[in-house]
A and B are shown apart, each in its own frame.
Chain A
Amino acid sequence: MLGFISRRLLQAIPTLFVIATLTFFLIRLAPGGPFDGEVEIPDEVRERIEAHYGLDRPIIVQYFSYLGNALRGNLGPSTLQVGWDVHELIAQGFPVSLELGLWAMVVAFAIGIPVGILAAVYRHRSYAHWLMGFAMIGVCLPSFVFGPLLLLVFSSYLGFFNPLGWEHASDRVLPALTLGMFFAAYIARLARSGMLEVLQQDYIRTARAKGLSERIIIIRHATRTALYPVVAFLGPAFAGVISGSFVVESIFFIPGLGTFFVNAALNRDYTLVLGTVLFYAVLILSLNLLADLIQAWLQPKTRDV
């Protein structure tokens, strides 16, 4: 187990290195710079500003000094938001994104697992098809269509929720539904196929032969095994929730990290882009590791791989 974790941590080093290098040079290759605003800046002033941020040095020097600083946990000051350090901005935006992501995962599991299991258990009844039809719609109705439609119905027509913002508890409902629905649909499909497979196993027949009630068989014996594919999906789901939050934050005007990143990329805020990308990368790598550990704990067969 320890070997597994340390191997994964060692693998993370080249990944992070590649990401840092790729991002650094990509954002530098992009046309325009952080100070190409609408206002013309005199050349001397621009030179001063660039010298202040160290942007006048050769790019290779900048690259290595950035890497060195990043290794020490210093992501530097934001090139655009004067007076803010990158890590301060991340500390401000991330909790919002995290909360949104967690609520979305709650929605995804709370809807996806029951729907999938019911559709498998009652597969011969007609409403099972409706359940899975709903799941298919969730896959094909992307968040930037679903979110505005939810807004149209529940905010404009019915007036239940505020159309934007992140102030009250009720402001969480629509964004979490929007972000969680795709994953709910996908989880439902996974849970259904997992359950269908389990129900054909010998030990389920044994349990039936023992005279256990169908309810106990499903809940105690079948569900745990049926959910393996769902657990295996945890890693990709976490990563998906993070990138999905870009869109949802943009629909509902939520001041999260995704909004910061998109704006930073558009305005060439070099250090904020780099810092956010590195932060996302570390986050995704650790979440993947976490998901693998949960899977290994539930499913001993994969432990020695």
Chain B
Amino acid sequence: MSEASTLIPAKDKNPTAGALQPGVWRRLRANRAVFIGGGIFVFIALLCLLGPFFFQTSYQDTNLDLGATPPSATHWFGTDDLGRDLFIRTLYGGRISMAVGFAATAVSLVIGLGYGLLAGYAGGRTDAFMMRAVDVLYALPFLVIVILLTVVLGRSVLLLFLAIGLVEWLTMARIVRGQVRALKQQTFVDAALACGAWHGRIIVRHILPNTLAPVIVYTTLTIPSVILLESVLSFLGLGVQPPMSSWGVLINEGAEKLDVYPWMLIFPAIFFSATLLTLNFIGDGLRDVLDPRD
């Protein structure tokens, strides 16, 4: 969220700097932060996605005779006080957290990109009005609105990402709009117009590709902040509901029992923090490679 302020483009000397330049792959391969971060992230993601298929137990199988046990050979991360296997619950939680993260980012990407393209390309009064609206929304207390939205939409995982996506698109809209405004004054846009291209085609074929780099960078940085937001909501009891698990739910359950069963907090916390850390590394690395402004 707060990362955004540093990303808003200033007056741009080279407006096509937003396009993907040749040699990006080479520079990306040379960037160790992206590669190590990406590797660890892919490992965690695959583990969460495929891991549960290899185990008989489900995230909600309870075993009250067993109760809470510390990590052992049969239960790698231990069990919680209802005897549920924490390793499985952590993996399932990862699925939910990441699914919400990606879906909410997609929602915010679609809204922000569309809004920014429209405002930037229309220019004039439309642009002024649309950006004023963004300013107004920007001043809203974010978490407060998300909490209200989750209350309205009910506690369904499906709608959770909608609630988050609906508040996360503002910065994307600002970034895209700034890029489009600079691009619109370029001669290749005039040339396309002179050739009789209609506006939709100019936006899609000529302007959109030139905004890709900052959009990719900001999207990568949005994913961790959305995962964080989901976990905050679940932690407060407003997001995913038990017995379903998400990292926020698990950390909340662990935090309640930390003095008796500390493993219930520690393992989900490690997975969660590692995911956030690697995603931020990827985002920062991509910015170094793709966004020549900095």
Contact = CB atoms under 8 A, between A and B. Distances in A.
Interface string B121-155: 00000000000000111011111110111011010
Interface in A169-192: 186
B262 A152 contact: yes
A30 B280 contact: no
Given A11-B135, A266-B237, A243 B141 contact: yes
A246 B273 contact: no
Given A142-B232, A148-B265, A281 B141 contact: yes
Given A236-B5, A247-B235, A262-B238, A281 B140 contact: yes
Interface in A272-297: 273, 276-277, 280-281, 284-285, 288
A300 interface: no
Contact of B144 (A31, A232, A247, A280): A280
Contact of B2 (A147, A240, A277): A240
Contacts of B272: 142, 145
A285 B252 CA distance: 32
Contact of B276 (A142, A148, A149): A142
A119 B77 CA distance: 37
B18 interface: no
**Size bracket, chain A contacts:** 35 or more
Given A19-B140, A144-B235, A149-B265, A262 B5 contact: no
A69 interface: no
Contact of A148 (B145, B248, B258): B258
Interface in B231-260: 231-232, 235-238, 248, 251-252, 254-255, 258-259
B254 A22 contact: no
A266 B151 contact: yes
B40 interface: no
A152 B258 contact: yes
Given A15-B136, A148-B255, A243 B143 contact: yes
Interface in A10-62: 11-12, 14-15, 18-19, 22-23, 26-27, 29-31
A233 interface: yes
B277 interface: yes
A261 interface: yes
Given A144-B232, A247-B236, A277 B262 contact: no
A139 interface: yes
Contacts of B154: 31
Contacts of B140: 15, 18-19, 22, 281
B148 A273 contact: yes
Interface string B3-25: 00100000000000000000000
Contacts of B248: 144
Interface in A131-167: 136-137, 139-142, 144-145, 147-149, 151-152, 155-156, 163
A105 interface: no
B255 to A, nearest CB: 4
A245 B140 CA distance: 16
Task: Please provide the 7 A-B residue pairs with the shortest distance between their CB atoms, ordered closest to farther.
Answer: A243-B143, A148-B255, A156-B259, A140-B277, A140-B276, A280-B141, A30-B152
17 contacts: A15-B139, A30-B151, A142-B273, A144-B255, A145-B265, A148-B251, A149-B269, A152-B258, A152-B265, A239-B141, A240-B1, A243-B144, A251-B255, A266-B151, A268-B151, A280-B141, A285-B139
